[in-house]
Structure 1
Amino acid sequence: MITILSYIIAALVTMPLLFLLISYFFAMKWHRYKKKAVRQCTQFTVPFLVLAIHVLLLVLFEESYWAWIIVFLLVILSLSVIIQYKVYEEVQLGRSFIVFLRLSFVVLLVVYMGLTAFGLADRLFL
């Protein structure tokens, strides 16, 4: 039973797009509104994207970039707080964290797709 659970977790970490589709399916069943379901599944997918990017960087370059990923995420969070302060002149941490999750999802998805394409090209042609 533990091995099956570990295989499922490993599959979700190495294939975050699969987790995105699964979480969207459950969010649609839960909320019944597409907009809420998309927002919720993107927010739930961010940690899996972070882990997937870490694993991809570990496999491709055989070096851990965990600290750089954390620093990058903290920069995105601080930028969302600064922008919220400049626009609204007050900081609401809940709103700032949600903006951070959405922005992180977009950036991390692009990085994940780029690393996947680079990894495929590296293994096929080099």
Structure 2
Amino acid sequence: MSSVLGAVIATFITVPYLVFFVVRKSIFKVTKKKRKAFKVSTDVTTFFLFLSIERMTVEIWGQSYYWVLILLFLSGCVMFTLFIWKNDLDLSLGKIIRLNWRLQFLILTFVYFSLMTYGIIDRILEA
């Protein structure tokens, strides 16, 4: 049983957009709300994108650049804090983290596909 669970988690880390489609479909079946299903699926997929990008960097370059992902997340938090503070909006930690988490989804999507393309080209040129 644990090997099956491990295989499923490894697949979700390798292809995080499977998580997006599975979660979106499941939440939509339960709630019948497309917007809520989309938001929850992006939030869950962002976590798997962090893990996937970390594993891709280890596979491509042989070392982890997880610290870059953490700095990216923290700089996004600072950016949203300054933006909300300058525009005199309600400054709540939950709002800042939620906005940053959704921004990270967009950034990490771009990084994921860039690393995947680079990795494929690199492996082809090595052969």
2:87 is paired with a residue of what secondary structure?
A: helix
The amino acid of 2:18's aligned partner reads: L
Report deviation, 1:90: 4.0
Give the distance between the partners of 1:23 and 1:82, measured in 2 at CA.
32
Give the distance between the partners of 1:101 and 1:31, measured in 2 at CA.
22
The amino acid of 1:64's aligned partner reads: S
> Which deviates more, 13-22 or 76-85?
76-85
The amino acid of 1:70's aligned partner reads: I
Aligned residues: 126
The alignment status of 1:9 with 2:13, answered yes or no, reads no
* Number of the residue aligned with 1:74: 74
The amino acid of 1:22's aligned partner reads: V
**Equivalences for residues 1-126 of structure 1 within 5 A:** 1-126=1-126
2:64 is paired with a residue of what secondary structure?
A: coil
Give the distance between the partners of 2:85 and 2:57, measured in 1 at CA.
34
5+ residue gaps, structure 2: none
The amino acid of 2:88's aligned partner reads: Y
Seen in structure 2, the aligned counterparts of structure 1 residues 33 and 59 have a Cα distance that, compared at 3 Å, is: same
Give the distance between the partners of 1:5 and 1:117, measured in 2 at CA.
28
- Give per-residue Cα distances to partners, 1:73-98, cap 9 Å, x unaligned: 11111111211112234411111111
Give the distance between the partners of 2:30 and 2:97, measured in 1 at CA.
22
Cα root mean square deviation, aligned: 1.2
> Which deviates more, 83-92 or 48-57?
83-92
Report deviation, 1:35: 1.4
5+ residue gaps, structure 1: none
- The two structures have a TM-score, normalised by structure 2, of 0.93
> Which deviates more, 111-120 or 22-31?
22-31
- The two structures have a TM-score, normalised by structure 1, of 0.93
Task: Give the % identical residues.
Answer: 27
